[in-house]
Amino acid sequence: MQDNVKKLIEISNNLYKNKLVSGKSGNISIRLDDHIAITPTLKSLGDLKEEDIVLVDMESKCLTSGKPSSEVGMHLAIYNKREDVNAIIHVHSPYVTGFAFSDKKIKRLEGFGQINQEYLSSIEYEKPGSEELALSASQGIKDEDVLILKNHGMVCVGDNLKETESLAMFIEESAKTQFISIMLNSVKDI
Ligand SMILES: [Zn+2]
C-alpha cells in the first residue's frame, strides 16, 4: 500500500477511535503533487481500506474508481486557494459542533501554534456539499488553520496530516474545556 494512502487510513481510524467522527460523517484528504487523495462518501472513517480512497485531480475529475466525499469541492477549493495546505480534516466533533449550533464562539486557547485572534473564525451556514459552502469555506480559511462552519462542524488545515490531526483534537478539547467552564460558571454556589 502507498505510504500516503496508509497514513490517510491510519489518521481516519484515529479520528474515529477518538470520537471526532462517528457514523459515516467526516472526511479528510491530502495533497499529492497535482491531485489529492480523499476519503469516500458514505463509508465510516473507522473502517476504510486502500481501495476506498479516491484520487481526484484539481479540477475535480476522479482518477480512480469509487465516489469521493460529498465535500470534495470544499477540499479542492481550499487547496486551490492555499498553496501551503497539504492536508484537510473536516469533522462534526461533538463539542465543537455543539458550539457551532449555538451563538457562543470558541476561544483560541494556548497550546497549539500562534494565537492570532481571540476566537476561532466562523462562516454562516451553507448546505453541506454545496458550491456555496466550498466558496465560503475556502474564503473563510484564507488566513486561518481552523474554521467553524455554523450549524455544521469544523475544518482544519495544515502542512501535513499528522499536524492537522493534532490541531483537530486540540480544538475539540478546547471546546470541551470551554463547555465545562461555561457550565460551572452557570451554577450558583450553594
Ligand atoms: Zn460535514
Q: How far apart are CA 177 and CA 138, in angstroms?
A: 28
How many CA atoms lie within 13 Å of 91's alpha carbon, on the beta-carbon side?
31
Is 71 annotated in the active site? yes
Which one of the listed residues 10, 59, 71, 173 is annotated catalytic?
71
What local confidence, expressed as pLDDT, does residue 105 receive?
A: 96
* Tens-digit pLDDT profile for residues 165-175: 999 999 999 99
Structural domains of the chain sorted by starting position, each given as residue range(s) with its CATH number in brackets: 3-186 (3.40.225.10)
pTM of the model: 0.96
* Tens-digit pLDDT profile for residues 100-155: 999 999 999 888 887 778 999 999 999 999 999 999 999 999 999 999 999 999 99
Residues with CB under 5 A from ligand 1 (ion): 128, 153
Q: Tell how far the Cα of 79 is from the centroid of ligand 1, in angstroms.
A: 17
Helix, strand and coil content of the chain, in percent to the nearest 5, comes to 35, 20, 45
What local confidence, expressed as pLDDT, does residue 9 receive?
A: 97
Q: Tell how far the Cα of 62 is from the centroid of ligand 1, in angstroms.
A: 20
Judge contact between 1 and 50, C-beta under 8 A. yes
What local confidence, expressed as pLDDT, does residue 190 receive?
A: 64
Q: Tell how far the Cα of 130 is from the centroid of ligand 1, in angstroms.
A: 11
* Tens-digit pLDDT profile for residues 47-60: 999 999 999 999 99
Residue whose C-alpha is closest to residue 154's, from 91, 74, 88, 71: 91
Owner of C-alpha cell 451554577: 187
Q: Tell how far the Cα of 91 is from the centroid of ligand 1, in angstroms.
A: 6
Q: Tell how far the Cα of 186 is from the centroid of ligand 1, in angstroms.
A: 30
What amino acid occupies position 58? M
